[in-house]
Structure 1
Amino acid sequence: MTDKISVNSSSKLAEAINALTAMYRQSKFVVVSMRPGKDRTLDQNALWFALYQRIAQMTPIGDVEDARRYCKLHFGVPIMRSSDADFRDGWNRMFLHLQYEQKLELMGPCSIFGPDGFPVTRLFNRAQGIAYTDRIVSEFSSKGVVFTDLLGEQAA
């Protein structure tokens, strides 16, 4: 059991202390890791969701989930395959042979990988997340999708 709590208020600090206390009482051994700073994934996830929404609104790709699946498969998987040998080897062994539609389906909610689908973007480091965003914007901007307002909000 692993819990992650971002502490950004007094109430979140109390929640973290309570969770730590409960975990200690239950098992008597707890490993705690802490680091200062903001969890960038929250901002990045919000931006990606906004990008997916815009893609769904301005293209015939389908709904937001369809846009998410497409981006994970077309941009996220290649980023991970090029930067992580273990990911590449696993993907090549287990998924490369699948039909395109099967791969696309695995990127979204499914019984095998749960509500977030096959893990791709959650494995990203900061640089990979930036590359993912850049690739989405590049491809869909060339297809007439406008992201300038979304990217301006995230830069603020």
Structure 2
Amino acid sequence: MTEKISVNSQAKLSEAITMLTRLFRDKKFVVVSMRPGKDRTLDQNALWFAMYDRIAKTTDMGDVEDVRRYCKLHFGVPIMRSSSRDFFEGWATSFVHLTYERKLHLMGACAMFGPDGFPVTRLFNREQGCIYTDKIAAYFGGNGVYFDDLLGEAAA
């Protein structure tokens, strides 16, 4: 059992202490790892899904999941390939030979990778998430999809 909590308020600190106390009481041995800084945020996830929804409603690309698969493959994979040697080598070994249709399929829910598909965006740090957002906005904004209202909310 692995549990993770981000502490960004007094309430979250109390929750983390309670979790740690409970785990120690139940298991008598707990490994704790801490680091400062933020993970990719839930706000980024919400923004991406709002963007996927807007793209799906304004284009003929299909539903939200079709758009999500497309964005992960076309924008997320290149970000990860350029920033992680392991990802680059893994992609080259296991995916580069697959057809486009198969790669696109694996980006979404599938038996091999579960409901979220091949891990791409969940591997992002905050900066990579910002780059991903910018790439989606630039590409689809250039194709007539309006995001200013969504991106304005994210900046606020």
Q: TM-score, normalised by structure 1?
A: 0.89
Whether the 8 Å CA contact 2:40–2:124 is kept in 1: the answer is: no
Structure 2: 5+ residue runs without aligned partners? none
Aligned equivalent of 1:110: 110
Q: How far did 1:123 drift?
A: 1.0
Q: Distance in 1 between matches of 2:87 and 2:40?
A: 23
Which position in structure 2 is the counterpart of 1:132?
A: 132
User: Could you tell me how far apart the structure 1 residues matched to 2:49 and 2:127 are?
Assistant: 18
Cα deviation for residue 21 of structure 1 reads 2.8
Identify the residue that residue 25 of structure 1 maps to in structure 2.
Answer: 25
- Which structure 2 residues correspond to residues 3-152 of structure 1 after superposition, within 5 A? 3-7=3-7, 12-35=12-35, 39-152=39-152
Cα deviation for residue 122 of structure 1 reads 1.1
On the 8 A contact 2:55/2:67 being kept in 1, the answer is yes
Cα displacement string for residues 115-147 of structure 1 (whole angstroms, at most 9, x for unaligned residues): 111111111122211111111001101110000
Supply the distance in 2 between the matched residues of 1:30 and 1:121 (Cα, whole angstroms): 29
User: Identity over aligned residues, as a percent?
Assistant: 71
How far 1:10 sits from its partner (Å)?
6.4
TM score, norm. by length of structure 2: 0.89
The secondary structure found in structure 2 opposite 1:67 is: helix
